[in-house]
Amino acid sequence: MYRLVYFSNANIDLNPSTIEGIVDKAAVRNRPLQISGALLYNGLNFLQILEGPHQSLTPLYLQIRKDPRHSGVVKLVHERISARIYPDWGMRLFCVAPKRAAAPMETSPCAKDLPAMIDAFFGFGHATALAELR
């Protein structure tokens, strides 16, 4: 089992219903591939956490990189895991307005520290809230 986390810049013309549609399709597509995860959106960027078998994650990530609805895809984590964080989610969306809409991520959190990545992405305090939803 593996976890893959990436960051990307959302296209400016994406609207909430388009993003919800992306997540709905991903949830349906991911279940037979044994992939679970979460898509976090802060109004400017995506941070996606994907978990599943290596043979499913690699082709999916290559497909995601080519998606024209975002750019600047950067893989932050690709690691072997013993247990999923999101075992029951084909995909779930979390949206939070950024504290400073024009400010990019100010830090590069340690790739092994997923809560720090989430907090750096959204602003402090959201990793705990996300964990409580599991």
Backbone angles phi, psi at 70, to 5 degrees: -150, 170
Tally the C-alpha atoms within 13 A of residue 8's C-alpha that lie toward its C-beta: 21
Q: How many residues does the chain have?
A: 134
Question: Is the separation of the CB atoms in 105 and 9 below 8 Å?
Answer: no
pLDDT of 119 reads: 62
pLDDT in tens, 74-128: 998 899 999 998 888 888 888 765 544 444 443 333 444 566 656 665 554 445 4
pLDDT tens digits, 15-55: 888 899 999 999 999 999 999 999 988 888 899 999 999 99
With a threshold of 0.85, does the pTM exceed it? no
Q: Which domains, and CATH codes, for the chain?
A: 2-133 (3.30.70.100)
- For residue 126, the model assigns a pLDDT of 46
Distances (CA, A) of 66 to 73, 86, 95, 132: 9, 25, 23, 32
